[in-house]
């Protein structure tokens, strides 16, 4: 029987981050990490294998982190856990015999799987999903190379990123979304409308407010039937309507878990067994803002949770305050991002808010090459003036500006705090110091707050 201080199941964002963090917090412990597949794809990079990155092999997470942090890496499937005995049964890939691993502490980073909707024809050849399995993804890639007309079901971030990648290959590309607009569950209306215009500009056919009633074809997919009776011809269909937590192993072992919410964890990322932790898509989550269950599934959230779980293995060192939720994407030329609560989300949970908006050239002067307009909206709770969210569009600096906003949210900064924050600016890298968007958005909110009080 193999023995280890720490066993990590899963080596994607949660598992890899856990390994690094355990080593930093507990330098002396032994570690084993286990995964099913030979390699782990970079989860957020999966859409980009279609064109930009070009192959699944160029989108793999490096195993260097395990080597560097002295973690034994085993390839195989953990088929059972005995929580009382602190053991896991590992069936190695290939012909090896199953073995038992005894652990002191266990971290579950078993991730999630794409939701397969109960649509007739969903199992036809030519229907795919964004599974995190390199072998499967290579099949998807070959199929995309052979296809001419693609239909993506689901107009969320992954669906749109996949569709844009297909469209970059010059393929006929359509997206079907049940809700009236794409990204409806992510952004506020202002950003959604910009995204829609960009999707049209890219030549992606958007079918919104439409349900797929069947996927049709003789022996392989040929078309997608919508609820208005229209039929979209398709050589290939990809489903991207969300993911569901992988809880089977945990549930079979007797850990508290729920197929919708995942493996139940507390604020220390402990499951219902004190020596078992969970992080990432497989773990239950609550909102930073309400403490209520939330369904955010992001690699950045997985990594943040793993940093808490790993630090707490042998004594409680960290608390996880719930998921803030920081989304960013790039559609065509538009980078866009959201942090925490948008106006829609704030309204829906009944938080009175004040929004401040500012936009300016993202370089200064605006005659600097590559200049775009970048706008930022900040959302403050009306009664405390504290920042509860923000939205940014459209230059690439959006990617780090959302992280400024996220930091400000987590620090509980007020509009006045933000308006007086000192920042730096350079002509080639930022807006002018006079027009810097976050500060001006905060000042605009202060004007509204003064009127409101």
Nearer to its own copies, 253 or 311 (CB): 311
Interaction between residue 137 and its own copies (CB under 8 A): no
The interface region with its own copies, picked from 76-84, 85-93, 242-250, 301-309 by CB under 8 A, is 301-309
DSSP state of 122: T
What x-and-dash track marks residues 9-28 binding its own copies by CB under 8 A? Answer: ----x--xx--xx--x----
Residues numbered 254-293 forming contacts with its own copies, rule: CB under 8 A = 288
DSSP labels for 314-382?
SS-------B--EEEEEETTEEEEEEE--HHHHHHTT--EEEEEEEEESSSSTTSTT--EEEEEEEEET
CA 307-13-275 angle, to 5 degrees, is: 50
To its own copies, the closest distance from the beta carbon of 331 in angstroms equals: 10
What interhelical angle do 398-410 and 437-452 show, nearest 10? 40
The interface region with its own copies, picked from 29-37, 145-153, 297-305, 346-354 by CB under 8 A, is 297-305
Say which residues have a Cβ less than 8 Å from residue 319's Cβ, sequence separation at least 6.
267, 268, 308
To its own copies, the closest distance from the beta carbon of 437 in angstroms equals: 11
Interaction between residue 300 and its own copies (CB under 8 A): yes
Interaction between residue 410 and its own copies (CB under 8 A): yes
Look at strands 257-258 and 262-263 and give their pairing: antiparallel
Residues numbered 351-370 forming contacts with its own copies, rule: CB under 8 A = 364-365, 367-369
Figure out which of the listed residues 45, 76, 117, 293 binds its own copies, where binding follows CB under 8 A: 45
434 to each of 168, 367, 438, how far by Cα in Å? 38, 16, 11
Burial class of residue 4, CB neighbours in 10 A (0-12, 13-18, 19+): buried
To its own copies, the closest distance from the beta carbon of 420 in angstroms equals: 6
To its own copies, the closest distance from the beta carbon of 70 in angstroms equals: 15
C-alpha to C-alpha distance for 71 and 64, rounded to whole angstroms: 10
* Helix ranges (DSSP H) in 156-202: 157-168, 189-202
Nearer to its own copies, 126 or 159 (CB): 159
To its own copies, the closest distance from the beta carbon of 8 in angstroms equals: 13
Residues numbered 315-344 forming contacts with its own copies, rule: CB under 8 A = 318, 320, 323-324, 326-330, 335, 337, 339
Interaction between residue 138 and its own copies (CB under 8 A): no
């Amino acid at each position: 029987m193999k023995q280890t201080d720490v066993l990590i199941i899963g080596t994607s964002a949660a598992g890899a981050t856990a390994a690094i963090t355990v080593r930093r917090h507990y330098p002396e412990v032994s570690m084993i990490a286990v995964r099913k597949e030979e390699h782990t794809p970079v989860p957020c990079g999966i859409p980009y294998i279609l064109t930009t990155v070009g192959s699944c092999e160029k989108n793999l997470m490096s195993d260097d982190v395990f080597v560097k942090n002295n973690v034994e890496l085993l390839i195989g499937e953990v088929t059972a856990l005995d929580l009382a005995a602190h053991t896991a049964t590992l069936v190695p890939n290939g012909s090896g015999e199953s073995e038992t691993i005894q652990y002191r502490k266990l971290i579950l980073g078993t991730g999630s799987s794409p939701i397969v909707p109960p649509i007739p024809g969903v199992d036809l050849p030519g229907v795919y999903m964004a599974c995190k399995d390199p072998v499967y993804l290579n099949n998807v890639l070959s199929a995309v190379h052979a296809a001419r007309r693609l239909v993506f079901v689901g107009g969320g971030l992954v669906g749109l990123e996949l569709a844009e990648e297909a469209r970059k290959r010059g393929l006929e590309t359509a997206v079907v979304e049940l809700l009236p607009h794409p990204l409806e569950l992510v952004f506020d209306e202002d950003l959604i409308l910009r995204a829609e215009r960009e999707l049209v500009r890219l030549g992606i056919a958007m079918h919104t407010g439409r349900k797929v009633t069947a996927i049709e074809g003789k022996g392989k997919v040929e078309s997608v039937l919508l609820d208005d009776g229209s039929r979209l011809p398709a050589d290939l269909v990809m489903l991207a309507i969300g993911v569901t937590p992988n809880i089977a192993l945990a549930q079979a072992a007797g850990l508290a878990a729920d197929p919708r919410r995942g493996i139940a964890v507390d604020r220390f990322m402990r499951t219902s067994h004190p020596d078992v932790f969970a992080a990432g898509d497989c773990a239950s989550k609550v909102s930073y803002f309400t403490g209520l269950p939330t369904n955010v599934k992001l690699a950045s959230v997985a990594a943040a949770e793993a940093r808490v779980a790993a630090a707490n293995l042998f004594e409680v060192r960290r608390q996880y305050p719930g998921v803030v939720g920081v989304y960013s994407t790039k559609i065509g030329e538009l980078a866009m991002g959201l942090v925490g609560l948008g106006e829609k989300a704030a309204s829906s949970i009944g938080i009175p808010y004040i929004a401040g908006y500012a936009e300016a050239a993202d370089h200064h002067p605006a005659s600097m090459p590559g200049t775009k307009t970048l706008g930022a909206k900040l959302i403050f709770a009306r009664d405390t003036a504290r920042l509860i969210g923000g939205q940014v569009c459209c230059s690439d600096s959006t990617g780090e500006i959302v992280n400024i906003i996220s930091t400000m949210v987590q620090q509980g900064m007020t509009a006045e705090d933000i308006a007086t924050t000192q920042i730096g600016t350079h002509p080639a890298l930022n807006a002018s110091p006079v027009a810097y968007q976050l500060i001006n958005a905060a000042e605009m909110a202060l004007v509204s707050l003064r009127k409101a009080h």
